[in-house]
Every structure is written in structure tokens, then in C-alpha cells.
Amino acid sequence: MSKARDLAPAWSALRRFTPARIALGRTGVSLPTSAHLAFQLAHAQARDAVHRPFNSEALAAGLRASTVLSSLGALQLESRATSRVHYLQRPDLGRRLNEASAAALRQAAPRAAPDVAFVITDGLSALAIEANAVPFLEEVVPSVMADGLAIAPLCVVRGGRVALGDEVGELLRARCVVILVGERPGLTSPDSLGAYLTFAPCIGLTDERRNCLSNIRPAGLPWREAAVRLHWLIRECLRRQLSGVDLKEDAPTLAGPGVAALPG
């Protein structure tokens, strides 16, 4: 027991380097009350994130109000899932737009096929979208525009899953699509955002055709670094005309306060 007590301060010091549950201690054969309550709180936050209603109107308004993003516009769409319960029980319905949204998107599609389409959907965490979507897009969109690439109107979709980006990209005739989606909450990350890139999107593609950046949030992969990586992926995707397992990520990473230059 004395040796365990001697090690406790050293283990506790390591907790500042990770959100993982280490050095929790014990009371008899059980966790201390504080650790048990912290676990219950994290579990409740994860459940709340999954069931949190998505205010797509507020997000679309935030996109239109952004000085960086306002020129792109924002379309509000819906999947075939008619409620949150429906969405959770029928994953397939979150992969397709409902008829009204598909028709509206066809009508709104620009005459010239865009290079990139960005789709934003709640997925399994509306909290992740509300907290991260706008600031992340404000980091990545200027870089994409600086490359001279045409960006489609931003599409905000209620009740979507990753594959829904394929239909949106196909209807917009986009060369590639990026869908930002709230990821399944973990016990330390109820606000984790994922970004999935697909070249030549069309209905029926499977996951090996996509590249994924995960855990985008201030406490995970920061917005700026994620933007550098996504910009590189978009550029290489369009240059090589492929994505997924055929496109290996070799993007630059941030070094200190600056950003490493993208390869020409």
C-alpha cells in the first residue's frame, strides 16, 4: 500500500498530458466517488450530444453572417430521416436527401460545375457542428479560394450521414465534395468534428473512396492544422483525380505559430 501511495503523485502528474482516464485511484475495490461522478458526467454529455436537436437555421445564418463565407451562400436541406429517433434507428435514411431537398438542390446548382462542394450536417453530434463548423470553414475556405478553385454554395443538411455528401456532390456536379459531420461522441469528446473528402462523388460509393480527418476541435486536431491538411488533400485529390485509399496523406503540419508551406 505504501508503494502505491508513493506512485500516486507521479501518475497524477501525467494526467495533464492526456484526457484518458488514468491515475483515478481507488476506494477499496471501487473507484473514488469523484472519479465515478466524472465518468457519469462524461457519459451524460455524450448521450446529450447524440440527442441534441440541430438548429440548422442558426448555423446557416452564421455562415451567411461570416465575412469570410458569406459570398458562398448557404442552402438548408434535409435528409430522408423525419426525426432524430428515425435518424438513429435508420442509418440508411441519413444517407439520402428527401425529395424536396434534392429538387431544391438541382434548381440551385450553379451552371458551371464547381471544383469543391462543402456539406455540413449534424451526424451524431450537433454540438460538434455548432462549435466547430464555422471557424473551421473560415480557416480552410480562403486557402481553397486562393488556389482559384470554384466552391459551390454551402449546404447545411439536417439528419445527414457521411454518404449523403455523395448525393449532394453529384447533384451539384462537383469535382469533389467535403462533408463536415458530427462524429460519434466519446467519453472525452462530445464535440468532435469529422471531415470526409471524396473525388467524383456519386450515389453508391463506399468508404474506401473517402479520406477522413477526425477529431477536429480545439482539444483535438485544431482548426488551423486541420485546415492545412484538408487544403492539401483537396489540392492533391483534384490534381491526381482520386481520393480514399489511393490518396495517401502526406500533408504538412504546423510548426510552432506558423504554418508550413504547402508543396507546390
| Structural domains of the chain sorted by starting position, each given as residue range(s) with its CATH number in brackets | 55-259 (3.40.50.11240)
Least confident span in 14-23, 95-104, 173-182: 14-23
Which pLDDT score is estimated for 22?
75
What angle do the packed helices 126-146 and 223-240 form, to 10 degrees? 60
Query: Which H or E run includes 177?
Result: strand 176-182
Which pLDDT score is estimated for 167?
98
Which pLDDT score is estimated for 153?
97
* 52-91 pLDDT per residue, tens: 889 999 999 999 999 999 999 999 999 999 999 999 999 9
Which pLDDT score is estimated for 36?
77
Which pLDDT score is estimated for 4?
46
**Per-chain mean pLDDT for the chain:** 88
Task: Specify the higher pLDDT residue, 36 or 212.
Answer: 212
Which pLDDT score is estimated for 243?
96
Which pLDDT score is estimated for 17?
77
Q: pTM of this prediction? A: 0.85
Residues 241, 156, 93, CA angle at the centre, nearest 5°?
Answer: 85
Which pLDDT score is estimated for 254?
57
